[in-house]
Amino acid sequence: MTKSKVTAIIATAILLIVGLGCSRLAMPGRSNLFEGDGAVKAAAAIKEKIGASVVNVIRLSVKLDEMEMTVQSPSNPKNIDKYVFENGKVTGPEPVQVFSFGENEMTADKYPSSPIDEIGFAAIPDTIQRAIALSKLENAKVDLVSMDAQGGEQGTPNLKEEREKERGTLDSEIKEKRKACFKERSRIGDCMRELKPLEDRVQQLRFGHTVGRAKLVLTWRIFVEGPRGRKNFWADKNGKLNEKSF
């Protein structure tokens, strides 16, 4: 092989290496949001893009390499904005149309929301692995973790038991106070007014809401799928799993 051919081969190899290196640098970095601190970094990037100290999340979805977040606009509390983290970059805000029911419009201020800093993004990897293990599905994987407002019992299974216990105690207290009220007929009006807060609390516990408005909290839904089946799980906003699938 002549010296000129060797030189040409070396030069070609150098160009290929440089070209490959440049192409790699040009490619946006793909993130795995189901491992390590991928989801934490994605949420932080979205918050930085929004540029507000407080970001109220209405709903969001987390996939392997994408996070889509719908928030209450910091500039106008009635507006809903959407942001997407993908390939290491954040796009948005994209305006979201509000739903209308007759004269009622579901503006952002009418949705339950959670501050982004109160959501346990760091728990996503462990919660996913726990859900996969509990599913007992062959070759299972998680393709989506969605988060939106649900009844508190979904993500906190012992909440219903705690409410029932408190309600039983209050029912007994109300029963005794009513007996006392009828024994003191001269102050029955005041007595019944004193009972009102206790009765309101019983209603809250019975229906899981504050008086006049449903109480919904941000809740995770973990979708586990395998070749032979699919199971889904709830978790609270910090990733504490309800180990009973739905």
pLDDT score, position 162: 63
Q: Which of 61, 91, 119 is the last residue of a domain?
A: 119
Q: Are residues 114 and 185 in the same domain?
A: no
237 located within any domain: no
pLDDT score, position 170: 76
pLDDT score, position 32: 94
40 located within any domain: yes
Q: Are residues 111 and 163 in the same domain?
A: no
Q: Are residues 163 and 94 in the same domain?
A: no
pLDDT score, position 101: 74
User: Domain range for residue 88?
Assistant: 30-119
Within 10 angstroms of residue 34's Cβ, the number of other Cβ atoms is 20
Q: Which of 119, 151, 167 is the last residue of a domain?
A: 119
SS (H, E, C) the chain: CCHHHHHHHHHHHHHHHHHHHHHHHHCCCCCCCCCCCHHHHHHHHHHHHHCCCCCEEEEEEEECCEEEEEEECCCCCCCEEEEEEECCEEEEEEECCCCEECCEECCHHHCCCEEHHHCCHHHHHHHHHHHHHHHCCCCCEEEEEEEEEEEHHHHCCCHHHHHHHHHHHHHHHHHHHHHHHHHCHHHHHHHHHHHHHHHHHHHHHHHCEECCEECEEEEEEEEEEECCEEEEEEECCCCCEECCCC
Q: Are residues 40 and 93 in the same domain?
A: yes
pLDDT score, position 154: 59
Q: Are residues 164 and 113 in the same domain?
A: no
Angle at CA 199, nearest 5°, toward 162 and 213? 75
Mean pLDDT by 10 residues, the chain (246 residues): 50 46 45 94 97 96 97 96 96 92 85 95 97 96 94 60 71 76 71 74 60 68 95 93 85
Output the six-digit token pair for 136.
């007992």
Residue with tokens 């100290």: 53
Nearest to 234 by CA among 243, 225, 207, 226: 243
pLDDT score, position 6: 43
Q: Into how many domains does the chain fold?
A: 2
Question: Model-level pTM?
Answer: 0.68
Q: Are residues 98 and 178 in the same domain?
A: no
